[in-house]
Protein backbone atom coordinates (compact mmCIF):
# COMPACT_ATOMS: atom_id res chain seq x y z
CA UNK A 1 0.00 0.00 0.00
CA UNK A 2 1.28 3.47 -0.89
CA UNK A 3 2.35 5.81 1.90
CA UNK A 4 -0.47 8.39 1.72
CA UNK A 5 -3.36 5.87 1.72
CA UNK A 6 -1.65 3.94 4.52
CA UNK A 7 -1.26 7.08 6.61
CA UNK A 8 -4.95 7.78 6.02
CA UNK A 9 -5.83 4.26 7.19
CA UNK A 10 -3.73 4.67 10.33
CA UNK A 11 -5.35 8.02 11.08
CA UNK A 12 -8.82 6.48 10.80
CA UNK A 13 -7.94 3.49 12.97
CA UNK A 14 -6.36 5.73 15.60
CA UNK A 15 -9.45 7.93 15.90
CA UNK A 16 -12.20 6.82 18.29
CA UNK A 17 -15.63 6.70 16.67
CA UNK A 18 -18.30 4.91 18.73
CA UNK A 19 -21.81 4.95 17.30
CA UNK A 20 -23.39 8.34 17.92
CA UNK A 21 -19.97 9.94 18.43
CA UNK A 22 -18.44 9.75 14.95
CA UNK A 23 -17.47 13.41 14.50
CA UNK A 24 -13.71 12.97 14.93
CA UNK A 25 -13.43 10.12 12.42
CA UNK A 26 -15.70 11.88 9.96
CA UNK A 27 -13.46 14.94 10.12
CA UNK A 28 -10.42 12.78 9.27
CA UNK A 29 -12.32 11.26 6.33
CA UNK A 30 -13.56 14.59 5.01
CA UNK A 31 -10.12 16.14 5.11
CA UNK A 32 -8.75 13.29 2.98
CA UNK A 33 -11.48 13.17 0.34
CA UNK A 34 -11.63 16.95 0.00
CA UNK A 35 -8.30 16.85 -1.83
CA UNK A 36 -9.77 15.08 -4.88
CA UNK A 37 -13.60 15.23 -4.65
CA UNK A 38 -15.57 17.76 -6.68
CA UNK A 39 -17.79 18.43 -3.67
CA UNK A 40 -18.33 17.16 -0.12
CA UNK A 41 -21.50 17.44 1.97
CA UNK A 42 -22.72 16.37 5.39
CA UNK A 43 -26.17 16.06 6.92
CA UNK A 44 -27.68 16.78 10.32
CA UNK A 45 -26.41 13.54 11.90
CA UNK A 46 -22.94 13.65 10.38
CA UNK A 47 -23.25 11.33 7.40
CA UNK A 48 -20.65 12.45 4.87
CA UNK A 49 -20.74 12.26 1.06
CA UNK A 50 -18.00 13.11 -1.41
CA UNK A 51 -18.69 13.17 -5.15
CA UNK A 52 -16.76 12.91 -8.39
CA UNK A 53 -18.92 14.43 -11.12
CA UNK A 54 -18.94 12.29 -14.24
CA UNK A 55 -20.88 12.67 -17.46
CA UNK A 56 -24.51 13.68 -16.95
CA UNK A 57 -25.61 10.75 -19.09
CA UNK A 58 -23.71 8.25 -16.96
CA UNK A 59 -25.03 6.32 -13.93
CA UNK A 60 -24.65 7.45 -10.33
CA UNK A 61 -22.80 4.90 -8.22
CA UNK A 62 -22.39 5.07 -4.43
CA UNK A 63 -19.54 3.29 -2.63
CA UNK A 64 -20.14 3.42 1.11
CA UNK A 65 -18.80 2.34 4.47
CA UNK A 66 -19.81 3.18 8.03
CA UNK A 67 -17.61 5.30 10.27
CA UNK A 68 -18.83 4.04 13.65
CA UNK A 69 -17.41 1.31 15.84
CA UNK A 70 -18.78 -0.61 18.79
CA UNK A 71 -17.89 0.70 22.22
CA UNK A 72 -19.00 1.28 25.77
CA UNK A 73 -20.59 4.17 27.62
CA UNK A 74 -20.67 5.61 31.12
CA UNK A 75 -23.97 4.49 32.63
CA UNK A 76 -23.43 5.39 36.29
CA UNK A 77 -20.81 6.76 38.66
CA UNK A 78 -21.00 5.02 42.02
CA UNK A 79 -20.34 6.32 45.53
CA UNK A 80 -16.70 5.22 45.40
CA UNK A 81 -15.93 6.81 42.04
CA UNK A 82 -16.11 3.67 39.91
CA UNK A 83 -17.72 3.99 36.46
CA UNK A 84 -20.46 1.49 35.57
CA UNK A 85 -20.96 0.56 31.93
CA UNK A 86 -23.51 0.04 29.19
CA UNK A 87 -22.69 -1.16 25.66
CA UNK A 88 -22.75 0.79 22.41
CA UNK A 89 -23.67 -1.70 19.70
CA UNK A 90 -22.70 -5.36 19.87
CA UNK A 91 -19.97 -5.08 22.50
CA UNK A 92 -18.47 -8.44 23.51
CA UNK A 93 -18.46 -8.92 27.27
CA UNK A 94 -15.59 -11.41 27.03
CA UNK A 95 -12.99 -8.98 25.69
CA UNK A 96 -13.32 -5.91 27.91
CA UNK A 97 -12.38 -7.26 31.35
CA UNK A 98 -8.87 -6.29 32.41
CA UNK A 99 -8.38 -3.91 29.47
CA UNK A 100 -7.12 -0.34 29.35
CA UNK A 101 -9.81 2.05 28.09
CA UNK A 102 -10.28 5.68 27.11
CA UNK A 103 -13.31 7.64 28.25
CA UNK A 104 -13.92 10.36 25.69
CA UNK A 105 -15.13 13.50 27.44
CA UNK A 106 -15.75 17.01 26.15
CA UNK A 107 -12.48 18.01 27.84
CA UNK A 108 -10.41 15.21 26.36
CA UNK A 109 -9.73 11.53 27.05
CA UNK A 110 -9.64 10.09 30.55
CA UNK A 111 -7.68 6.88 31.07
CA UNK A 112 -9.02 3.91 32.97
CA UNK A 113 -9.07 0.13 33.22
CA UNK A 114 -11.95 -2.33 33.32
CA UNK A 115 -11.55 -4.09 36.64
CA UNK A 116 -11.01 -7.84 36.80
CA UNK A 117 -10.38 -9.83 39.99
CA UNK A 118 -7.21 -11.91 40.00
CA UNK A 119 -7.61 -15.58 39.04
CA UNK A 120 -6.46 -16.56 42.57
CA UNK A 121 -9.52 -14.83 44.02
CA UNK A 122 -11.94 -16.12 41.39
CA UNK A 123 -11.13 -19.80 41.94
CA UNK A 124 -13.60 -19.94 44.81
CA UNK A 125 -16.46 -19.12 42.42
CA UNK A 126 -18.63 -21.80 40.80
CA UNK A 127 -17.50 -20.72 37.33
CA UNK A 128 -14.34 -18.60 37.68
CA UNK A 129 -13.98 -18.08 33.94
CA UNK A 130 -17.54 -16.86 33.31
CA UNK A 131 -17.35 -13.24 32.08
CA UNK A 132 -19.55 -10.64 33.69
CA UNK A 133 -22.21 -8.93 31.63
CA UNK A 134 -21.25 -5.45 30.41
CA UNK A 135 -23.68 -3.91 32.91
CA UNK A 136 -21.81 -5.62 35.77
CA UNK A 137 -18.39 -4.38 34.67
CA UNK A 138 -16.84 -1.12 35.76
CA UNK A 139 -13.99 1.23 34.89
CA UNK A 140 -11.46 2.29 37.51
CA UNK A 141 -10.14 5.75 36.61
CA UNK A 142 -8.18 6.05 39.86
CA UNK A 143 -10.69 8.39 41.48
CA UNK A 144 -11.02 8.13 45.27
CA UNK A 145 -14.60 9.41 45.46
CA UNK A 146 -17.75 10.01 43.46
CA UNK A 147 -17.10 13.74 43.58
CA UNK A 148 -13.62 13.37 42.10
CA UNK A 149 -14.89 11.05 39.35
CA UNK A 150 -17.72 13.41 38.40
CA UNK A 151 -15.20 16.20 37.88
CA UNK A 152 -13.61 14.06 35.16
CA UNK A 153 -16.41 12.11 33.46
CA UNK A 154 -20.17 12.18 33.18
CA UNK A 155 -22.98 9.81 32.31
CA UNK A 156 -23.20 9.30 28.55
CA UNK A 157 -19.50 9.71 27.78
CA UNK A 158 -18.43 7.10 25.20
CA UNK A 159 -15.62 4.64 25.90
CA UNK A 160 -13.26 2.68 23.64
CA UNK A 161 -10.67 0.07 24.46
CA UNK A 162 -7.17 1.52 24.20
CA UNK A 163 -5.52 -0.49 21.43
CA UNK A 164 -2.82 0.60 18.97
CA UNK A 165 -2.48 -0.13 15.26
CA UNK A 166 0.12 -2.88 14.86
CA UNK A 167 1.76 -4.21 11.72
CA UNK A 168 1.95 -7.98 11.73
CA UNK A 169 3.82 -10.17 9.26
CA UNK A 170 3.62 -9.35 5.58
CA UNK A 171 0.70 -7.09 4.70
CA UNK A 172 -1.44 -7.90 7.72
CA UNK A 173 -2.47 -5.30 10.27
CA UNK A 174 -4.18 -5.57 13.67
CA UNK A 175 -6.27 -2.82 15.28
CA UNK A 176 -9.44 -1.94 17.09
CA UNK A 177 -12.24 -0.71 14.85
CA UNK A 178 -11.33 -2.28 11.52
CA UNK A 179 -15.13 -2.67 11.54
CA UNK A 180 -15.62 -0.43 9.74
CA UNK A 181 -12.94 2.17 9.22
CA UNK A 182 -11.67 -0.09 6.44
CA UNK A 183 -15.00 0.43 4.67
CA UNK A 184 -14.80 4.20 4.63
CA UNK A 185 -11.12 3.96 3.64
CA UNK A 186 -12.12 1.82 0.65
CA UNK A 187 -14.94 4.17 -0.34
CA UNK A 188 -12.59 7.16 -0.30
CA UNK A 189 -9.85 5.35 -2.19
CA UNK A 190 -12.30 4.01 -4.78
CA UNK A 191 -13.44 7.58 -5.41
CA UNK A 192 -9.85 8.79 -5.78
CA UNK A 193 -8.94 5.98 -8.16
CA UNK A 194 -12.11 6.46 -10.22
CA UNK A 195 -11.33 10.17 -10.49
CA UNK A 196 -7.77 9.38 -11.58
CA UNK A 197 -9.22 7.21 -14.36
CA UNK A 198 -11.57 10.02 -15.44
CA UNK A 199 -14.57 7.67 -15.51
CA UNK A 200 -17.82 8.87 -17.07
CA UNK A 201 -19.96 7.62 -14.17
CA UNK A 202 -20.72 9.92 -11.27
CA UNK A 203 -19.22 8.35 -8.15
CA UNK A 204 -20.20 9.03 -4.56
CA UNK A 205 -18.01 8.01 -1.65
CA UNK A 206 -20.14 7.75 1.48
CA UNK A 207 -19.26 7.51 5.16
CA UNK A 208 -22.33 6.76 7.24
CA UNK A 209 -22.98 6.92 10.98
CA UNK A 210 -24.72 4.62 13.45
CA UNK A 211 -24.53 1.35 11.53
CA UNK A 212 -23.72 -0.65 14.65
CA UNK A 213 -26.92 0.46 16.37
CA UNK A 214 -29.41 -0.14 13.55
CA UNK A 215 -28.09 0.90 10.10
CA UNK A 216 -29.49 4.35 10.87
CA UNK A 217 -27.17 6.53 8.81
CA UNK A 218 -27.60 4.40 5.70
CA UNK A 219 -31.36 4.85 5.85
CA UNK A 220 -30.86 8.61 5.81
CA UNK A 221 -28.30 8.57 3.01
CA UNK A 222 -30.13 6.03 0.85
CA UNK A 223 -33.26 8.15 0.81
CA UNK A 224 -31.46 11.43 0.30
CA UNK A 225 -28.89 10.34 -2.30
CA UNK A 226 -31.03 7.97 -4.40
CA UNK A 227 -28.16 6.55 -6.54
CA UNK A 228 -28.55 4.06 -9.38
CA UNK A 229 -26.52 1.52 -7.39
CA UNK A 230 -25.11 1.31 -3.87
CA UNK A 231 -22.20 -0.88 -2.76
CA UNK A 232 -21.87 -1.21 1.02
CA UNK A 233 -18.28 -2.02 1.94
CA UNK A 234 -17.86 -3.74 5.28
CA UNK A 235 -15.77 -6.35 7.01
CA UNK A 236 -16.80 -9.96 6.74
CA UNK A 237 -15.80 -12.99 8.79
CA UNK A 238 -12.59 -14.68 7.69
CA UNK A 239 -12.91 -18.43 8.21
CA UNK A 240 -9.20 -19.31 8.02
CA UNK A 241 -8.20 -19.34 11.69
CA UNK A 242 -8.43 -21.81 14.60
CA UNK A 243 -11.21 -20.12 16.58
CA UNK A 244 -13.68 -19.80 13.71
CA UNK A 245 -16.60 -22.09 14.68
CA UNK A 246 -16.44 -25.30 12.71
CA UNK A 247 -20.22 -25.43 12.30
CA UNK A 248 -20.31 -21.98 10.62
CA UNK A 249 -19.75 -22.53 6.89
CA UNK A 250 -17.72 -20.24 4.68
CA UNK A 251 -14.67 -20.01 2.42
CA UNK A 252 -13.24 -16.58 3.20
CA UNK A 253 -9.48 -16.20 3.57
CA UNK A 254 -7.28 -13.21 4.41
CA UNK A 255 -5.24 -12.07 1.43
CA UNK A 256 -7.41 -13.81 -1.19
CA UNK A 257 -9.28 -10.70 -2.26
CA UNK A 258 -12.50 -8.81 -1.49
CA UNK A 259 -15.67 -10.83 -0.96
CA UNK A 260 -18.70 -10.53 -3.24
CA UNK A 261 -21.88 -11.38 -1.35
CA UNK A 262 -24.69 -13.20 -3.17
CA UNK A 263 -28.36 -13.65 -2.27
CA UNK A 264 -31.23 -11.71 -0.68
CA UNK A 265 -30.26 -8.02 -0.50
CA UNK A 266 -27.49 -8.36 -3.08
CA UNK A 267 -28.89 -7.25 -6.44
CA UNK A 268 -28.12 -9.87 -9.11
CA UNK A 269 -27.26 -7.37 -11.86
CA UNK A 270 -25.00 -5.34 -9.59
CA UNK A 271 -23.29 -8.50 -8.36
CA UNK A 272 -22.76 -9.58 -11.96
CA UNK A 273 -21.30 -6.18 -12.85
CA UNK A 274 -18.83 -6.36 -9.97
CA UNK A 275 -17.76 -9.89 -10.84
CA UNK A 276 -17.37 -8.99 -14.52
CA UNK A 277 -15.25 -5.96 -13.62
CA UNK A 278 -13.07 -8.13 -11.40
CA UNK A 279 -12.52 -10.57 -14.23
CA UNK A 280 -11.66 -7.85 -16.72
CA UNK A 281 -9.23 -6.20 -14.27
CA UNK A 282 -7.71 -9.53 -13.18
CA UNK A 283 -8.67 -8.91 -9.53
CA UNK A 284 -9.25 -12.00 -7.40
CA UNK A 285 -12.55 -12.04 -5.53
CA UNK A 286 -14.13 -14.48 -3.12
CA UNK A 287 -17.82 -15.39 -2.84
CA UNK A 288 -20.08 -15.46 0.20
CA UNK A 289 -23.64 -16.65 0.65
CA UNK A 290 -26.17 -14.25 2.25
CA UNK A 291 -29.37 -16.25 2.17
CA UNK A 292 -31.37 -13.91 4.42
CA UNK A 293 -29.58 -10.57 4.91
CA UNK A 294 -26.09 -9.10 4.71
CA UNK A 295 -25.97 -7.54 8.18
CA UNK A 296 -24.60 -4.37 6.57
CA UNK A 297 -25.84 -0.95 5.44
CA UNK A 298 -26.96 -2.55 2.17
CA UNK A 299 -29.94 -3.97 4.07
CA UNK A 300 -31.14 -0.45 4.91
CA UNK A 301 -30.61 1.01 1.44
CA UNK A 302 -32.04 -1.54 -0.96
CA UNK A 303 -35.68 -0.90 0.02
CA UNK A 304 -35.40 2.91 -0.14
CA UNK A 305 -37.40 4.85 -2.76
CA UNK A 306 -39.05 1.75 -4.19
CA UNK A 307 -35.78 -0.18 -4.44
CA UNK A 308 -32.13 0.83 -4.94
CA UNK A 309 -29.91 -1.90 -6.41
CA UNK A 310 -27.48 -2.66 -3.60
CA UNK A 311 -24.94 -5.22 -2.50
CA UNK A 312 -22.28 -5.90 0.11
CA UNK A 313 -18.60 -6.04 -0.78
CA UNK A 314 -16.71 -7.57 2.11
CA UNK A 315 -13.13 -7.29 3.32
CA UNK A 316 -11.97 -10.43 5.18
CA UNK A 317 -11.53 -9.77 8.90
CA UNK A 318 -10.40 -12.04 11.70
CA UNK A 319 -11.75 -11.66 15.25
CA UNK A 320 -14.56 -9.19 14.47
CA UNK A 321 -15.90 -7.06 17.33
CA UNK A 322 -12.78 -7.55 19.39
CA UNK A 323 -9.98 -5.01 19.95
CA UNK A 324 -7.65 -7.25 17.91
CA UNK A 325 -9.23 -7.41 14.46
CA UNK A 326 -6.86 -8.41 11.64
CA UNK A 327 -7.10 -7.56 7.94
CA UNK A 328 -4.75 -7.83 4.98
CA UNK A 329 -4.01 -4.50 3.30
CA UNK A 330 -3.77 -6.31 -0.02
CA UNK A 331 -7.49 -7.03 0.23
CA UNK A 332 -8.13 -3.33 0.86
CA UNK A 333 -6.15 -2.18 -2.16
CA UNK A 334 -7.90 -4.79 -4.30
CA UNK A 335 -11.34 -3.65 -3.09
CA UNK A 336 -10.61 -0.01 -3.98
CA UNK A 337 -9.21 -0.99 -7.38
CA UNK A 338 -12.24 -3.20 -8.02
CA UNK A 339 -14.76 -0.46 -7.31
CA UNK A 340 -12.87 2.00 -9.49
CA UNK A 341 -12.96 -0.63 -12.25
CA UNK A 342 -16.73 -1.04 -11.75
CA UNK A 343 -17.21 2.73 -12.13
CA UNK A 344 -15.22 2.59 -15.35
CA UNK A 345 -16.83 -0.50 -16.88
CA UNK A 346 -20.39 0.52 -15.99
CA UNK A 347 -20.16 4.13 -17.20
CA UNK A 348 -22.49 3.44 -20.14
CA UNK A 349 -25.15 1.58 -18.18
CA UNK A 350 -28.58 3.23 -17.95
CA UNK A 351 -29.81 1.26 -14.94
CA UNK A 352 -29.36 -2.02 -13.07
CA UNK A 353 -32.93 -3.33 -13.21
CA UNK A 354 -33.37 -7.06 -13.75
CA UNK A 355 -34.65 -8.32 -17.08
CA UNK A 356 -38.10 -9.96 -16.88
Active site residues: 211
Q: Is 212 annotated as a binding residue?
A: yes
Q: Is 321 annotated as a binding residue?
A: yes
Number of H helices, E strands in the chain: 9, 17
Q: Is 66 annotated as a binding residue?
A: yes
Measured distance CA(31)–CA(100) in Å, rounded: 29
Q: What DSSP state is assigned to residue 6?
A: H
Judge contact between 158 and 3, C-beta under 8 A. no
Q: Is 234 annotated as a binding residue?
A: yes
Judge contact between 19 and 210, C-beta under 8 A. yes
Cβ neighbours around 356 below 10 Å, total: 3
CA 263 to each of CA 8, 267, 288, 290: distance values in angstroms, whole numbers, following the listed order: 33, 8, 9, 5
Measured distance CA(33)–CA(195) in Å, rounded: 11
Judge contact between 83 and 139, C-beta under 8 A. yes
Q: Which residues are annotated as a binding site?
A: 66, 179, 212, 234, 321
Q: Which residues are annotated as a binding site for Zn(2+)?
A: 66, 179, 212, 234, 321
Amino acid sequence: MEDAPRAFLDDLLSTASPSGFETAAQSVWLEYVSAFADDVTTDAYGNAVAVYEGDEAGPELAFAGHADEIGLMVAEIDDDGFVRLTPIGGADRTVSLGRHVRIHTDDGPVNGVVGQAAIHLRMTQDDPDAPKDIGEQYVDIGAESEEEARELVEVGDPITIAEAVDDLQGTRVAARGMDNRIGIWTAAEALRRAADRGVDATVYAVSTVQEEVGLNGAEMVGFDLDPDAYVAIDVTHATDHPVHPGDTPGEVELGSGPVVARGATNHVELVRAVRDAAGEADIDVQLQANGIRTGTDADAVFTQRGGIPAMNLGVPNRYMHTPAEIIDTGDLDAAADLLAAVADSESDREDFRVDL
